[in-house]
Amino acid sequence: MSMAVTESVLTFRRATPADVEAVVALTESAYRGEVSRTGWTTEADFLDGQRTDVADVAALIGRDDARIVLAERDGELLASCLIEKQPGGDGYFGMFSVRPDLQNAGIGRALLAEAERIARDEWGCRQMRMSVIDIRESLIAWYERRGYRRTGEHKPFPYGDERFGIPKRDDLRFEWLIKQL
C-alpha cells in the first residue's frame, strides 16, 4: 500500500472549518493511543490524554497568520500540519500528523516541503522553527536529514495543562530546531 501512495499524486490545500474534526482525529491517531503505535511518531509511551481538540483546531483555522495544510490523495486526508507566520519573519511548523499506517511512505516529507515552500514563497519567511520533545531522538534525526538543526535552546513542557497531554514521566521538555529557507 505504501508504494501506491508514493506513486500517486498528493494534493495540498488549506484546511477549512469543515475539516476540523478530521484534522483532530488524524492528529490524535498519529500521537496518542494504541492506533498511534502502528506508526513511528507515537507519543503514547510518555503522554496520555489529548494532543489537540476541536476548539483549538477551529481557532487555528480562523487565524490570518496561521494555516493548517492538508495532504490528500483522491480526496482522502493522509497528513496535516500547522504553519504560522511569527513576528520577526520566521515560520513555525507544528502539529505534524501523518496517518500511522502510511508513515514512512514519503507523505510527511512531501508535506514538510510544501509547508516550507508556503513559508518561504508566500509569506517571505527566512527560516522555519519548530519545537520537538527532546527525548524523541529518531524524530529529531528525521528532521536533521531534512536540513533542520538542533539549537540547544529548550522550553519547558507545560506540565499541568492537560490540553497538551498527561505526562507519564517528569523529564519532558522541548528543543527548538531551525532551518534556513
Residue 146 vs residues 83, 109, 116: alpha-carbon distances, Å: 17, 8, 11
Q: What is the CATH number of the domain that holds 67?
A: 3.40.630.30
pLDDT at 1: 41
pLDDT at 7: 54
In which domain, by residue range, is 24 found? 2-130
**156 is a domain residue:** no
**162 is a domain residue:** no
- Name the domain count of the chain: 1
Residue 109 vs residues 71, 98, 106, 174: alpha-carbon distances, Å: 11, 10, 5, 22
pLDDT at 113: 97
Residue spans of the chain under pLDDT 50 = 1-6
Question: Are the CB atoms for 92 and 83 separated by under 8 Å?
Answer: yes
- Total-model pTM: 0.91
